Structure 1
Amino acid sequence: MLHSFIPPARFFPYLTWQDIAKMPNKQNVVIIQPIGAIEQHGLHLPIIVDSAISVAVLGKALSKLDVDIPAYALPNIYYGKSNEHWHFPGTITLTSQTLISLLMEVGESIYRAGFRKLVFMNSHGGQPQILELVARDLHIKYNDFCIFPLFTWRVPNIAKELLTPKELELGIHAGDAETSLMLAILPEQVKMTDAVTEYPQNLPTDSVLSMEGKLPFAWATKDLSQSGVIGDPTTATKEKGDRIWESLANGWVQTIKDIYKFQQPKTTN
């Protein structure tokens, strides 16, 4: 079905224009735009990983959400800015400028329909900065528009409790966490017999610089990995994936509740 993991009653495209026009309390209705990518994820995972995670986590969260809280999912944006992976066949990437334009125009359409709370729910690690730029620009353009540029994995969840210290530090792509989650979401598309472990070599040592973090350096995946994996997927299990999926969904339930109650801070005269 077109709604995939999203509960049909929470799928924005299933509404009519009259449903939208007559919707009460529209300024507090939470509209969520899931965003993923179509990019390589090693030898064992399909290129749909980030997009699948967005839709699956959001769908489970919306199925748990109190029916009295109005929240709707837009159709997933499958393509993202993935040029760090384009040396691997199958990766499809937008430019930064294209993604910025797309998200700006989606946001403006949502605002024009009368909504005032929009979440960008992003599952691809290569584009959070773009969402933050768009969110700021939309809010500057429309002062009463509340925009939330959020990363799927940053809500409260238990993933860190299930990973080794090395995987926590270096397992940033197609490693244990993503593979475990995909074993829960789309197990028939995971080829565990092809899973390989590969961590980056020759990273700066005794240095404040790192791949990601406060002082990062720019990189392409081919600089760090021959297989496309950055991490250890061989330790992944469906049991871990089920637990991660459940905890991410719970984290998103709380996040959506907080957004529903959120009021933009304002100075007082």
Structure 2
Amino acid sequence: MECSDSRRSRRLDHLHWPDAASRLRDPRSTLVWPFGALEQHGPQLPLATDALFAERILSRVLETLPDAWPIWALPPQSIGLSPEHRGFPGTLSLSADLLIRLVVEVGEQLAAQGVKRLVLFNAHGGQIGLLQTAARELAARAPSMAVLPCFLWSGVEGLETLIPSQELQNGLHAGLAETSLMLALAPELVGPERPCDGLQSALPPPDGWSLEGAAPYAWFTADISNSGVVGDSRGADASLGQRLNIALMEHWSSLFSSLMVSDWPPAADARRVRGPSTMHP
């Protein structure tokens, strides 16, 4: 009996090592590392919500790309930085320095094996800044490899036509968008509750300050929400979730396509830090 053909897989860990050895040294070799979290998502969504979104949407996007393109997914990092959800059972959080070390150590090994581009495909809003910092540190240590920290929901066109503006701005966690998307991707994991919570804090920040935006503060979910939801999930349905899924897939399919048909990044020598004599003629 023949083994399954690992060459068809878009998962790096499904390849045999001789295949990996040759493919990672392709001039356009690109790996995508999905990042999620293990944290409460209200009474209606699973702890693995962010990790599930990152992994499933990435998998479907990669299926749409030409087989010949040298792009693969790493196994998902399913526990992230989630201190804002402490106090809710089931939430697990790694420290910031541990996650940075993880990205740097794995990334340096990938660069040494010839990988040209590493995309950090993150679906957890609470670690956007952390992964940007980790990416910068890795890029400094491995200048031969481009590092791209991305957030699943950033830059996606058309969200404002699908989600009411108030919810788009303030529905930060387990609200309308996430509940609807889960109903489309894994309805068997969604509970019956549809909370509206976390939008009217007993101690709101002063005028001009907010949970997110131009002047945010470091908030904890338990301080503003009893259910763990920050947003309004009452109108969630699978139809909206499918439209969100299509918007996300189209956005990331386009971005990955533009990356794969390019010769970017430039050679490492062109990206070296310039010396003082060059900076000050």
TM-score w.r.t. the length of structure 2 is: 0.87
Q: Distance in 1 between matches of 2:155 and 2:8?
A: 24
Aligned equivalent of 2:193: 194
Q: Distance in 2 between matches of 1:68 and 1:250?
A: 20
SS across alignment from 1:257: helix
Change (3 A) 1:32 1:38: same
Aligned equivalent of 1:263: 264
Deviations 1:162-198 (A, max 9, x none): 111210121000000000000011101101x312111
Aligned equivalent of 1:56: 56
Q: CA deviation at 1:203?
A: 2.8
Q: Distance in 1 between matches of 2:25 and 2:254?
A: 20
Identity of aligned residues (%): 36
Q: Distance in 2 between matches of 1:262 and 1:136?
A: 21
- For 1:14, the aligned partner's letter is H
SS across alignment from 2:120: strand
SS across alignment from 1:45: coil
What does 1:214-253 correspond to in 2, within 5 Å? 214-253=214-253
Q: Which has the higher contact order (CA 8 A, sep 6+)?
A: 1
Aligned equivalent of 1:97: 97
- For 2:69, the aligned partner's letter is I
Change (3 A) 1:8 1:38: farther
Q: Provide structure 2 residue ranges, at least 5 long, that are not aligned to the other structure.
A: 1-6
Q: Distance in 1 between matches of 2:9 and 2:155?
A: 24
Change (3 A) 1:123 1:63: same
TM-score w.r.t. the length of structure 1 is: 0.91
Q: Provide structure 1 residue ranges, at least 5 long, that are not aligned to the other structure.
A: 1-6
Change (3 A) 1:115 1:101: same
Q: How many positions carry a matched residue from both structures?
A: 261
Query: Whose Rg is larger?
Result: 2
Aligned equivalent of 2:3: none
- For 2:90, the aligned partner's letter is G
Q: Distance in 2 between matches of 1:211 and 1:24?
A: 41
Q: Distance in 2 between matches of 1:41 and 1:112?
A: 38
Residue 172 of structure 2 is aligned to residue 176 of structure 1: no
Q: Distance in 1 between matches of 2:184 and 2:66?
A: 24
What does 1:97-176 correspond to in 2, within 5 Å? 97-176=97-176
Q: Distance in 2 between matches of 1:29 and 1:168?
A: 35
Q: CA deviation at 1:95?
A: 0.6
Q: Distance in 1 between matches of 2:78 and 2:32?
A: 14
Q: CA deviation at 1:70?
A: 1.8
Q: CA deviation at 1:258?
A: 2.4
- For 1:217, the aligned partner's letter is Y
SS across alignment from 2:144: coil
What does 1:21-60 correspond to in 2, within 5 Å? 21-23=21-23, 26-60=26-60
SS across alignment from 1:126: helix
Deviations 1:1-38 (A, max 9, x none): xxxxxx96211111111112222762312100000001
- For 1:16, the aligned partner's letter is H
Q: Distance in 2 between matches of 1:53 and 1:157?
A: 18
Q: CA deviation at 1:86?
A: 1.4
Deviations 1:207-240 (A, max 9, x none): 2x22112221111111121110000111011011
